[in-house]
């Protein structure tokens, strides 16, 4: 009988010791999670030109001293991609008390009129922001109506994709000379270039080949656009294999 009693006492003591150790473990874990090393202190933002660390902190609700377990890296990444249109991709990692965010930003390629302002669009049609005309040196897309321009929303229009692709493919040598990309009622594309010179691109097929022809030279060695300006002609690139200069249409 005595042996059985001693056994029960031993088991009881072992259980108490186990509970104590478990409690100490939980306390230690709680203390570690709330220790200074596991609290947010600063943000390192890499690759950003359009957004600042302060803006990112506000977007993500980051507050100095908050335990970092409240900010899982994967959750922060999704939140940033969802709430900040300028961010196309992001890599979020914790490094002690520092949060490191490396971003790839979207590149604005064109402007689309919206009431008395312009929607700034990337090549995918994402509205990055609304701006005045003098804030960006980008071509304006005409011939496409924009019913609304919510920041971060993708503009969907059957004729817009071709115009945006043309804007994104403009050669650097001539990009600053293009003031407008016009979409005709038939969905064909025209560039309005300094001069003014109208460049007819036709349907939005073979755009890369057509636009690569813009910096090319004419038979006499003069750049195509310069020769068109000199003659007062327009430039037809509908067939990029045979670029032609043509007299300017009446009314242009």
Q: What is the CATH number of the domain that holds 151?
A: 3.40.50.10960
Domain that holds residue 81: 36-105
Domain presence at residue 30 = no
Name the burial class of residue 237, with classes exposed (0-12), middle (13-18) and buried (19+) by CB atoms within 10 angstroms of its CB: buried
Q: Are residues 137 and 195 in the same domain?
A: yes
Give the pLDDT of residue 220: 80
Mean per-residue pLDDT for 16-45? 62
Total number of domains constituting the chain: 2
Q: Are residues 219 and 170 in the same domain?
A: yes
Q: Are residues 94 and 139 in the same domain?
A: no
Q: Are residues 98 and 121 in the same domain?
A: no
Q: Are residues 89 and 118 in the same domain?
A: no
Domain presence at residue 21 = no
Quick check: 57 pLDDT over 60?
A: yes
Domain presence at residue 6 = no
Locate tokens 């071709």: which residue? 162
How confident is the model over 153-171, as pLDDT tens digits? 999 898 999 999 999 999 9
Integer Cα distance of 143 and 80 in angstroms: 33
Q: Are residues 134 and 241 in the same domain?
A: yes
Per the structure block, which two tokens stand in for 148? 């609304």
Instruction: Read off the pTM.
Output: 0.81
């Amino acid at each position: 009988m005595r042996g059985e009693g001693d056994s029960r006492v031993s088991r009881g003591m072992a259980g108490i010791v186990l509970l104590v150790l478990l409690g100490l473990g939980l306390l230690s874990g709680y203390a570690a999670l709330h220790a200074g090393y596991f609290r947010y202190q600063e943000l390192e933002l890499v690759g950003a030109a359009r957004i600042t660390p302060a803006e990112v902190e506000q977007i993500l609700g980051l507050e100095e001293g908050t335990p970092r377990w409240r900010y899982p890296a994967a959750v922060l990444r999704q939140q940033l991609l969802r709430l900040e249109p300028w961010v196309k991709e992001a890599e979020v990692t914790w490094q002690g008390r520092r949060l490191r965010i490396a971003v790839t930003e979207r590149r604005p390629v064109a402007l689309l009129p919206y009431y008395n302002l312009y929607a700034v669009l990337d090549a995918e049609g994402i509205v990055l922001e609304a701006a005045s005309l003098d804030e960006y040196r980008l071509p304006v897309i005409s011939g496409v109506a924009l019913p609304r321009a919510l920041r971060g929303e993708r503009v969907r229009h059957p004729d817009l994709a071709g115009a945006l692709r043309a804007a994104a493919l403009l050669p650097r040598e001539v990009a600053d000379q293009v003031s407008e990309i016009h979409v005709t009622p038939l969905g064909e594309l025209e560039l309005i270039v300094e001069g003014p010179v109208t460049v007819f691109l036709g349907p939005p097929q073979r755009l890369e080949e057509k636009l690569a022809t813009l910096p090319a030279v004419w038979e006499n060695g003069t750049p195509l656009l310069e020769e068109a300006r000199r003659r007062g002609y327009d430039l037809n690139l509908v067939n990029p294999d045979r670029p032609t200069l043509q007299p300017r249409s009446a009314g242009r």
